[in-house]
Structure 1
Amino acid sequence: MSFFEEKNPEMDRYLETHASSEPEILRRLRRETYHKTTQPHMISGYQQGRLLTIISQMLNPVNVLEIGTFTGYATLCLAAGLAKNGKITTLDINEDLAYLPRKYFSESEYADRIDFRLQDAKGFLKETEEVFDLVFIDADKENYAEYFRLIKPRLKSGSVVMFDNVLWYGKVLEDQPKQKATRVIKELNDLVAKDEDFENLILPLRDGVNFLRRK
């Protein structure tokens, strides 16, 4: 649950009932995530999932990167907009939960276009020479600023990057945050806002999405 949902759950329900319907495979995945994981709130969820799908469909990307798979909900949303020859690489390090995204990826129509890897994202970004059309980052917040620095050379003009949880339950308003995650998220938001190579906007959806476009 996000900072905004706690403040106005009625509005959140209204937004959900006035958005496109959730595909059946995502509905099953969301339900199983809540039944079988200890932190189900980490799932991208219905509203954000619709946003990811629409953005992906608009971009029709050939090469997508996701950092932080969790149970694969956002992965499937992003895959919905892939070009015919497109693929999505999704990275996570949680071996205990890997069975769940693998299950739903194999059931989906995008099974042959999803490359799910149990791999450290920083190591991947330092080694890869791929260029990405669309990137979604929803992983360890303490590395957000470093992910931004590492992903920048892997983008082209028009590439889109989205960082999730950039309002951090409202903690970004703290002047001197004690929590490292809060400090790094504030650093990320500052870096993005000052980087003239990008256009960006923070969307106050759920816990905040920093939406970037490479110029």
Structure 2
Amino acid sequence: MKIIHLILIKLLHFVIYFLLEFFFNQYFCEKSNLMHFISEALDEYVVAHSENEPDLLKALTRETYQKVLQPRMLSGHYQGRVLSMLSKLIAPKTILEIGTYTGYSALCLAEGMNADGELHTIDINEELHDFQRKYFDASAFGDRIHQYTGDALEIIPALETTFDLVFIDADKPNYPAYFHAIIDKMNSGGVILSDNVLWSGKVIEPLQNHDISTKALLAYNALLKEDARVETVLLPIRDGLTISRVL
């Protein structure tokens, strides 16, 4: 009976996982086309004529899709190469990432780090810590990537460093709060990258009362436009990527 009970529990866990993945995929498959602002054929051309995706990141992507819920949260090949290129142009000594997920974007950003640079990445989900660390350690940057688990708004004030590059890709309602938490920790000339700022085009649709994420992003985009401490350009890359340079 004990063995049967354990089998039933494992079966129940599998069914719950499958249903969650199914409904997530159904919802986001419908939304995914809204995250591309050019045709599929032109998108394929853009990717084909950009830098190749490193083998380690291909492996990370495969395992994310096999084992982790919401795999579309990955930055992906093209945006990953954009993040890598921006980091290489900046050559940051210190990087902060808010929202690690499975570590894809952290590894892309790390490619541009100064020779003695360090990357600090924060995520709320402790379940992904070991997954992230496996790929960090398999890279050339493992000993220079520092993981933090918990609420970024509590962790950031305790970080005793300033930053040349920050990437925000976490819960959308807190985007304005993240900006206020990091702005005084930015070095002059530093860059803040913000992901998903077009939010599948919802930023130009009638705002629904219950849609706190879109409301927060509208406020955040306005904040970046109006704040005299930064100069900002919003790019229609994937779901929208903002580049803000700290003055």
TM-score, normalised by the number of residues in structure 1: 0.96
How far does the alpha carbon of each residue in 1:156-202 deviate from its partner, in whole angstroms, 9 at most, with x for none?
21100011000000011134333000000000000010011111111
Q: Is the 8 A contact 1:171 1:177 kept in 2?
A: no
Q: Is the 8 A contact 1:129 1:154 kept in 2?
A: no
Q: For residues 174 and 202 of structure 1, what CA distance do their matches in structure 2 show?
A: 18
SS at 1:83 equivalent = coil
Aligned residue number for residue 202 of structure 1 = 234
Aligned residue number for residue 112 of structure 1 = 143
- Cα deviation, residue 2, structure 1: 5.6
Amino acid across the alignment from 2:154: G
Q: Does 1:186 align with 2:190?
A: no
SS at 2:238 equivalent = coil
Structure 1 segments of 4 or more deviating over 3 A? none
Amino acid across the alignment from 1:145: P
Aligned residue number for residue 18 of structure 2 = none
- Cα deviation, residue 32, structure 1: 1.1
Instruction: Give 1 or 2: higher helix fraction.
Output: 2
Question: Greater Rg, structure 1 or structure 2?
Answer: 2
Q: For residues 33 and 44 of structure 2, what CA distance do their matches in structure 1 show?
A: 13
Question: What are the ranges of 5 or more consecutive residues in structure 1 without an aligned counterpart?
Answer: none
Q: Does 1:49 align with 2:80?
A: yes
Question: What are the ranges of 5 or more consecutive residues in structure 2 without an aligned counterpart?
Answer: 1-31
- Cα deviation, residue 38, structure 1: 1.7
- Cα deviation, residue 99, structure 1: 2.1
% identity of equivalent residues: 43
How far does the alpha carbon of each residue in 1:108-140 deviate from its partner, in whole angstroms, 9 at most, with x for none?
110111001112110012223421000001001
Aligned residue number for residue 204 of structure 2 = 173
Q: Is the 8 A contact 2:122 2:150 kept in 1?
A: yes
- Cα deviation, residue 52, structure 1: 0.7
Q: For residues 42 and 104 of structure 2, what CA distance do their matches in structure 1 show?
A: 23
Q: For residues 207 and 185 of structure 1, what CA distance do their matches in structure 2 show?
A: 12
Aligned residue number for residue 116 of structure 2 = 85
- Cα deviation, residue 5, structure 1: 2.5
Q: Does 1:5 align with 2:36?
A: yes
Q: Is the 8 A contact 2:198 2:239 kept in 1?
A: yes
Q: CA RMSD in A?
A: 1.3
